[in-house]
Amino acid sequence: MFGSIVHAQYSQGGQPYRFENNFSESLIQNLKEEILPTFNLDSMQAEDAVNDQNKTPYRFGYNHLVNFNLNNSGLWITLPNGDRLWQLRIKSPNALSLNLAFDDFFMPEGGKLFIYSADKSFVIGAFTKVNNQDDKAFATDLLQGDAVILEYYEPAEVSNKGRIKLFRVTHGYRGMKDYIGKSFAEAGSCQTNINCPLGANWQNEKNSVVFLITAGNIVCSGALVNDVPQDSKPYILTANHCSSTGYSTWVFRFKWEAPLCTNPATNPTSLSLTGCVKRAANLGTDMSLVEITGGLIGQTIPANYNPYFAGWSRINTPADSVVCIHHPMGDIKKISQALNATQSVIYAGANCWKIGQWTTGCTERGSSGSALFDQNHRIVGQLYGGPSACGVSADSLYDNYGKFATSWLGGGTDSTQLKHWLDPENTGTTTLNGTNIRTYNADSNTRITTETEIVSSFTIYPNPSNGEFNIDIKISKPQNVTAKIIDLIGQTIYTTIFTNATTGTYNIDIGSESTGIYFLELSTPTTKSVKKISVLR
């Protein structure tokens, strides 16, 4: 999307009906456009200038509250076969980005919602019944530009069963400068991209970190956290001050990072999910634990998101050194490091770990809620606040993180502690390592695992390539191995089976596919493993 796919939200793929060659544009010549009113941008920027001095969540947009639905907005047309199509164009003049939130969203069998730009240069969807949530809420990630078209296709046999009610359109006015040919977001120059040398030993943990959009116009950071049963429940640890409402429309963006150390020339790809439920919160540590509910496969994060469930320590002793992986100022993923011991402090009434001093990087607005990892690669807290920023004096290069150890028992109730959710069987576990093993279904023994469980060695070369890839596999016993290529919107575009595969080199050719990022999935009857591949011409 955005010319090529940029932010792929969990969907079923495909293309809008309007994109079909035989569609007559005359059918929608009376398409209604909802033009959103102006707002006091100067006032918001003045507020931002003040708030940016503190470690509060990063606000990037203005929330227009609206009431657009299938009955009061847009245009319905009946197609020759009796199916129906509804379209609505929304414009918020001069917006850098738009993101949408729905409070009554239901797709019936066969119903499809697409959202695309007026020039058809980017598309998200199809959103279908798999995107339905119990509370009928839904939201989108950020979309480029100031105008979008919503297109809902409804088969005749389910006429009038779909529901779409849009209650919020967020006008993005900053933090997305790459969309207009400038830089990425607004992180300070001292920040370090996650795939620089500093991040080399943190490649697992980086896959736990998410860019988090709450309240429509607020950006924070969070991390997937492991639980003692290791059942891959999609728990996200973040800061309570990031938001305490609207959980069904929170958006979780995974894998938004520079592929190399330097900033890329174009906006990196990412994958996102929508919706969560609150599990626990504690003001005494500024802790919030939520569980993602939308877009799951087998009750957990889809395999092509390559999720990592971070480990943790609830031992109340200072760390020797720490690392923070975060999205400062709504930017791509960064890593900061402090090569000194933490200190126990009370900050703004909360029990926290204080960073002695950042030795590389720091945190900024938008970093709120980011996980603090100790020298053992375990989470020991999440960011509450502090004075650090690029360019400040050395005595201000510190921050305060709500203690995981204190959050463990929290306020003593299920809704104020981590223990009930992360150690539900009360095993007394004090430390837990991270894992990228995914339990595919909580009610079965089928597992999506790390590559070392399916093969002792699995490499792909050349990568990037022109579409031809070699796969070197070392495998413990002969068995059928299925290879699939999945695109960024989740569609399987290529499948082959290596029958009775043994250790050796296998070849796949997707030279007919477009330049871009794809995922290679290898699977046996009981396991799966996924790696990212790139096609370049």
Report the catalytic residues.
241, 286, 368
Of 207, 293, 294, 284, nearest to 240 by C-alpha is 284
Neighbours of 18 (CB within 10 A): 18
Provide CB contacts within 8 A for 445, sequence distance 6+.
526
Give backbone dihedrals phi and psi of 28, rounded to 5 degrees, phi first: -120, 25
Strands 447-448, 75-78: pairing kind: unpaired
Are 75 and 88 spatial neighbours (Cβ–Cβ below 8 Å)?
yes
82 HSE (CA, 13 A, CB side): 6
Helices (H) and strands (E) counted in the chain, each on its own, are 4, 39
Strand partners, 238: 288
Element (H, E) at 454: helix 451-454
Give buried/exposed letters for 357-386 (b at 16+ CB in 10 A, else e): bbeebbbbbbbbbbbbbbeebbbbbbbbbb
338 HSE (CA, 13 A, CB side): 28
214 HSE (CA, 13 A, CB side): 27
